Structure 1
Amino acid sequence: MDIHHLKIFFEACREKSFTKAAKKLYISQSAVSIQIKKLETKLDIQLIERNSKNFKLTFAGKELYRMSKDVFDKILRMETEMQRIAYYGKGKISIGATHNIGEPVLPKIMVEFKKKYPEIEFDLYIKNRESLMRHLKEGTVDVALMEEYFIEDKELKIIETEEYPFVVVAGTQIFDYEELKNLKLLKRDTILTNKYLDLFEKIIGFNLEDRIVINGSIETMKNMIKNGIGFAVLPYYSVYEEILRGTLKIVHSFEKWEEKFQIVYIKENSEKEGIEKFVNFVKDYKINGNYSDEKINDLIFKNFE
């Protein structure tokens, strides 16, 4: 099979158009059609339905496109790695994380990791989950840390971290649930936030209607809470340092701990220098700052009741 013919077929499938593929590849539309026809002749099978008004793949075409995507993803990862080595003169790992992990906890992880492995160079990327998945496949990111969700991809290895709790956090001036009625609920519109907010409303016996939706970062929310603007439902790992310093207060901790991070990387990269060390380091990292359920509850009783 000619890799050049396969590349043209792949781009035509991705663009769902001979014309768009031709523009992207800087060749004529007729050249795209001819090269794909050569590929079909070589494989002795039809890949694209010629009698369809729209771009439509046959069953064989769909299968070849799926497999060719894996091929060109790997080629792109190889090119990215070679460029990285050419630029730095040696290997370097790239760490990605979603904003909810990247802002409050990744800096702490990297400081400790650098102390243990000073010889390992790294870059950091803070992206949303969809971008991280794309960068993983392209090779821009070697390891990604993200909230737990279902991933079905045979190329990826997924490892879960320890469980972490969610807590309700307010300013130090709050001493009773009733006082929350006079504050704004600072709400991040996520599945987990909604889940624990519903639980909290059942516990306190009233609805929290006065809300501000926060589309920014957890750091923004913490600063608003410190300034008395509101309170929020947040993961404990993002606030435990402020709790210990006494600048924020836990008003409720949910009993059941079940949320986890996912460490995600390409399986074939598991032996790459630095990746195995980083993955094992994060897997054993104490996300909750060495604080157990009992210690969190002690903080609540000390600061809230």
Structure 2
Amino acid sequence: MDIHHLKIFFEACNEKSFTKAAKKLYISQSAVSIQIKKLEHTLGLQLIERNSKNFKLTFAGKELFKMSQDVFERISRMENEMKKILQYKKGKISIGATHNIGEPILPRIMIEFRKKFPEIEFDLYIKNKESLVKHLKEGTVDIALMEEYFIEDKEIKVIETDEYPFVVVTSVDVESYEDLKEVPLLKRDTLLTTKYLDFFEKIIGFNLEKRIAVNGSIETMKNLLKQGLGFAILPYYSVYEEVEKGILKTIHSFEKSEDRFQIVLIRENEDKEGISKFVEFLKNYEIMSDIKK
């Protein structure tokens, strides 16, 4: 099988169009069609249904596309690794994190890591969970730190780390839970926020009707809280400094903490020196250590 023919087939499947694939590969549309026909001839199988008005794969085409995704993700990882070595003459790790972790806590983790391993260079990426998994598969990111997230992929290894509790915080004077009926809830649309909101409404015995949807980061939420706009449910590690300084106050702490950070990486990379050192460091690092003191 010619890898060049496979690449053209892969891009045509990605774009679901011969025309778009041709533009992406800087070749003519007829060249795309010819090379895919050559691939079909080599395999002795039809990959694309040509009697369909839309781009449609045969059963064999669907199976080959799935397998080719793995092939080109591996190639992408190799290319990115070689770029790092070319640029830095030695290994360099790329560390990703979700916004919930990256904004309030990753800087502290990296300061401690650099103290212990000053020889290891690194880049940082703050992305959502789906983007981090994609970048892991492509090799742009070596390790990702995220909240619990189900990943069904044999190439990816998931390691659980420390627990982190959630709290209800505000800068508004709240004497009792009844006062919350008149105070807007600032709500981020995340699974964990919804989960703890359900817990909280059961505890206080009524639904929180006054709500403001906030499509933003935790830092955005904290700034809104500081301005007295309402109250919110957030991870304690993200607001504990403001709580200690009296800028924000905790009106409820959830007794049970079931949520953990995850270290996510490609299995074939776990023995690489920089990656293995960072993983081992994270396994032994207490994310809540500064808060517990």
Please state which band the TM-score falls in when normalised by the shorter chain: over 0.9
Task: State the distance in 2 between where 1:240 and 1:193 align.
Answer: 17
Alignment deviations for residues 144-198 of structure 1 (CA, whole Å, 9 cap, x no partner): 1112121111111111112222111123854433343443322112221122112
Query: Deviation of residue 105 (structure 1)?
Result: 1.0
Structure 1 286/245 Cα, relative in aligned 2: closer, same or farther at 3 Å?
A: farther
Task: State the distance in 2 between where 1:289 and 1:211 align.
Answer: 33
Contact 2:172 2:231 in 1 (8 A): no
Contact 1:185 1:232 in 2 (8 A): yes
Task: State the distance in 2 between where 1:179 and 1:116 align.
Answer: 48
Contact 2:171 2:226 in 1 (8 A): yes
Query: Deviation of residue 107 (structure 1)?
Result: 0.9
Give yes or no for the alignment of 1:38 onto 2:4: no
Alignment deviations for residues 54-82 of structure 1 (CA, whole Å, 9 cap, x no partner): 22212111111111111111111111121
Give yes or no for the alignment of 1:169 onto 2:190: no
Unaligned runs of 5+ residues in structure 2 are none
Q: Which amino acid aligns with 2:169?
A: V
Cross-structure match for 1:275: 275
Cross-structure match for 1:94: 94
Task: State the distance in 1 between where 2:158 and 2:17 align.
Answer: 35
Task: State the distance in 2 between where 1:85 and 1:107 align.
Answer: 25
Contact 1:236 1:288 in 2 (8 A): no
Task: State the distance in 2 between where 1:39 and 1:191 align.
Answer: 44
Task: State the distance in 1 between where 2:288 and 2:133 align.
Answer: 26
Give yes or no for the alignment of 1:64 onto 2:64: yes
Task: State the distance in 1 between where 2:22 and 2:172 align.
Answer: 63
> Residue 232 of structure 1 aligns to a residue in which SS?
strand
Task: State the distance in 1 between where 2:277 and 2:246 align.
Answer: 35
Cross-structure match for 2:111: 111
List 4+ stretches of structure 1 deviating above 6 A.
Answer: none
Q: Which amino acid aligns with 2:126?
A: I
Structure 1 33/200 Cα, relative in aligned 2: closer, same or farther at 3 Å?
A: same
Unaligned runs of 5+ residues in structure 1 are 296-305
Alignment deviations for residues 85-113 of structure 1 (CA, whole Å, 9 cap, x no partner): 22222221111111111111111111111
Contact 1:94 1:123 in 2 (8 A): yes
Answer with 27-36 or 153-162: which moved more.
27-36
> Residue 42 of structure 1 aligns to a residue in which SS?
helix
Task: State the distance in 2 between where 1:239 and 1:26 align.
Answer: 50
| Identical counterparts, % of pairs | 75
> Residue 31 of structure 1 aligns to a residue in which SS?
helix
- Counterparts of 1:76-225 in structure 2 under 5 Å? 76-171=76-171, 173-225=173-225
TM-score by length of 1: 0.89
> Residue 163 of structure 2 aligns to a residue in which SS?
coil
Answer with 92-101 or 198-207: which moved more.
198-207
Task: State the distance in 2 between where 1:27 and 1:218 align.
Answer: 45
Query: Deviation of residue 141 (structure 1)?
Result: 0.9
Structure 1 180/3 Cα, relative in aligned 2: closer, same or farther at 3 Å?
A: same
Structure 1 106/55 Cα, relative in aligned 2: closer, same or farther at 3 Å?
A: same
Answer with 170-179 or 40-49: which moved more.
170-179
Query: Deviation of residue 283 (structure 1)?
Result: 2.4
Query: Deviation of residue 134 (structure 1)?
Result: 1.7
Structure 1 54/172 Cα, relative in aligned 2: closer, same or farther at 3 Å?
A: closer
What is the number of residues matched between the two proteins?
293
Contact 1:240 1:289 in 2 (8 A): no
Cross-structure match for 2:248: 248
Task: State the distance in 2 between where 1:38 and 1:94 align.
Answer: 39
Contact 1:98 1:129 in 2 (8 A): yes
Task: State the distance in 2 between where 1:231 and 1:168 align.
Answer: 7
Cross-structure match for 2:289: 289
Task: State the distance in 2 between where 1:212 and 1:15 align.
Answer: 38
Q: Which amino acid aligns with 2:68?
A: S
Alignment deviations for residues 271-305 of structure 1 (CA, whole Å, 9 cap, x no partner): 2231111112222222223656xx9xxxxxxxxxx
- Counterparts of 1:12-27 in structure 2 under 5 Å? 12-27=12-27
Q: Which amino acid aligns with 1:155?
A: E
Cross-structure match for 1:300: none
Task: State the distance in 1 between where 2:194 and 2:253 align.
Answer: 15
Q: Which amino acid aligns with 1:286?
A: E
Query: Deviation of residue 244 (structure 1)?
Result: 3.3
Q: Which amino acid aligns with 1:12?
A: A
Q: Which amino acid aligns with 2:49?
A: E
Cross-structure match for 1:302: none
